[in-house]
Amino acid sequence: MSRRGFSTVGSLIDDLLARYERRPAARNLIAMIDEDGFANMDLRDSFDEELAVLQQAGGLELIQTGPKTERRVTSVRLKDAGVLYRKVERQPADELAREAVSELRSQPGLPAGAVGLIDDVVAAWARGVSHIGIRNGDRQTLANVIGLAIAVCGRISGDPQGEQDFRTFSRLTVGDSKALEKNVRQVAAAMMKIFAGMEEQARLDPEEMLASAGIRRLPQPILLHGDVSLDGLPFPAMPYVGIPTDCAGGIGLLTKPDYILTIENFTSFVRHIREVARAERALVIYSGGFPSRPTLATITRLAAQLRVPTFHWGDMDAGGVRIFQHLERHLAGVDIPLRPHMMDPELLRRFGKPSPGVAGPAGDMRASAIAGLADFLTASGLAHEQEEFDPGSPILETPADVQ
């Protein structure tokens, strides 16, 4: 591939310094001269004179080619970047990066992991590149991301709190209501770099991780079907009820169900109630995709109290497996085994569709009740959305032909 050539000293220096900042250890950075880029010989002579001055100052080495009697400068090699910085009055990128983060880095009480992340950002910005998706020099976004990451981790490791929407959490944390929405992936990446012991969160995608901390784009009520009460009071007869998360502690059951079923997707939740659960004694809970912290706490609490067979029905894909395993780990903490419903390798083999480019579930699945499905997902490249199945009872034998 031919190299770009230059016909002004300023553009030549900018190119050499940009490449030097990306690769400070490079020892043979060369810039070519554009022989056809000069409008007349006077401009070429002035160009050569400026290069000669820079060579004399030790900043460049001039490379000449051609016969001895007609040799001319065709390229230059960088010798001392400091000379070139002074020539164009440009501040080195590493100094700019350190200045950009100096106030943030000096904040008292900053976790050691946050200081390490800032140092990694400086190293990247010094090379003119972004880090964890934060653009070169964008110090305000870096400060917001670190502040949000610390606050999210505090919610995960602390006592359970009520749900909060993205914008309220972001405004209260960093004073910018849109900072979290704009930087969801950056906040998740920062958490992994700042804090140790985040193995469980590392298995989740960013919005799943935030949901586990009770932070969602909009606060969602907990949707349940069954003989549900709130603070001991029954509801009128209806297919399902929605209870605000700040009232979740008052949710109870007036009679014991035969089973508990959590369902990932809303259409399948409604269909299961209409077509199956109303003819059975069932507690059906909508997980809302990846369950929020209040929803997960409600599922765990009721399962521990009721001690009945407990199932989960979700998509047969990597996300569905992550949701199942997350529920499974929390229920295991109260000695409740979680069973997959209509999520098994045979169903996926029969009804799944190729899903190219979609990775299988990550992490060690050997102890999980869904390990067989996880292995088959990875091996087959197939996936299946639960809405494509008609609902069936988890306490009856699965029909031979699932529609």
Q: Where are the domains of the chain?
A: 5-88, 93-216, 222-388
Which residues in the chain land under pLDDT 50?
Answer: 1-2, 398-400, 403
Give the per-residue pLDDT at 363: 60
Give dist(CA 386, CA 389) in Å, integer.
Answer: 6
Distance, CA of 391 to CA of 323 (rounded, Å):
19
**What pLDDT does residue 87 have?**
93
Architecture of domain 222-388: 3-Layer(aba) Sandwich (3.40)
Out of 1.10.10, 1.10.150, 4.10.860, 1.10.3470, select the CATH number for domain 5-88: 1.10.10
Return the number of other C-beta atoms located less than 10 Å from residue 3's C-beta.
Answer: 10
Tens digit of each residue's pLDDT (9 = 90 or more) over 102-130: 999 999 999 999 999 999 999 999 988 99
pLDDT at 6: 94
Say what the pTM is.
Answer: 0.60
User: From CA 231, how far away is CA 37, in angstroms rounded?
Assistant: 82
User: Fold identical between 5-88 and 222-388?
Assistant: no
Residue 2 pLDDT = 47
